[in-house]
Amino acid sequence: MGFIGLGNMGGPMAHNLAAAGHTVVGFDTAGTTAEGVAVAETAQAACADADFVITMLPNGAILRAVADQALPAMKSGAVLIDCSTVDVDSARHVGAQAAEMGLGFVDAPVSGGVGGASGGTLTFMTGGSDAAFAAASPLFDIMGQKAVHCGEAGAGQAAKICNNMILGATMAVTCEAFALADKLGLDRQKMFDVVSTSSGYSWSMNAYCPAPGVGPQSPADNDYTPGFAAELMLKDLGLSQQAAKAVDADTPMGALARELYAEFVENEDGKGRDFSAMLPRFAARGRDS
């Protein structure tokens, strides 16, 4: 199989496939490699004779450009699995392009971060035909712990965008609540003990608590070194609002979450920090800051 995009996520994913016994040929424009993965000089070379080509790329424009190179180099009946998080229109465009060439396509954005990529515990949200999903499923079993077939091409991206809009908004309000608790004199551990077992519980609170020393280990306990970077959350929230505009959906909470993360990343110190670093941001601010 070919693997295009061997960055922080793609590299470990490609390594896990190679470690499971697959022959993997990789290509990355930055020249990065992965253990056990052969190196191709071009994207087209990585695709030659491959039964599957997997991509992990930064955005929809790059996906479209790579698809223009990769699809013509793929053999008939092969399947392109795009694990990038991109706009729904780009996923649907590449899916249609693949179908016209007699190729399978699955859009399969992931949840689980770099740790999930390394540990093979990712969750895949997928779109594509039943046949393409069935063909790709054994690879999802190697790279992850769960794959959900959400519908036709683009449905995986739609699910990822909706999921991360919820995540961005819930993390922001979780951080706000801790900052409010501080000012009310409420101990953070007591706050966690109540909320994590009450109606305010959420993944942001229970599994990824933004308060250092509270709850399970999280990036907050490592000075907010990213597990999921704030700038990636900003990207996903931007995709959610792009999609909402395209289908005339009213998403005021998602829009506000995007504005908050844009301010944090672009005008404050959020770039390069975990998205849960919103907590020290709010803790340092007053109501009229």
Contact 227, 274 (CB under 8 A): yes
Catalytic residue among 146, 160, 183, 190: 160
Provide the Cα torsion 44, 46, 47, 50; round to 10°: 160
Task: Please report, for residues 18, 32, 128, 173, 219, the alpha-carbon distance to residue 151 in angstroms, rounded to integers and kept in the order given.
Answer: 29, 33, 6, 31, 33
Task: Please report, for residues 28, 34, 159, 265, the alpha-carbon distance to residue 275 in angstroms, rounded to integers and kept in the order given.
Answer: 27, 27, 20, 9
Q: Is 271 a catalytic residue?
A: no
Question: What is the distance between the alpha carbons of residues 184 and 46, in angstroms, rounded to a whole number?
Answer: 58
Which residues have C-beta within 8 Å of that of residue 255, sequence separation ≥ 6?
Answer: 241, 244
Q: How many CA atoms lie within 13 A of 166 on its CB side?
A: 8
What residues are annotated to the active site? 160
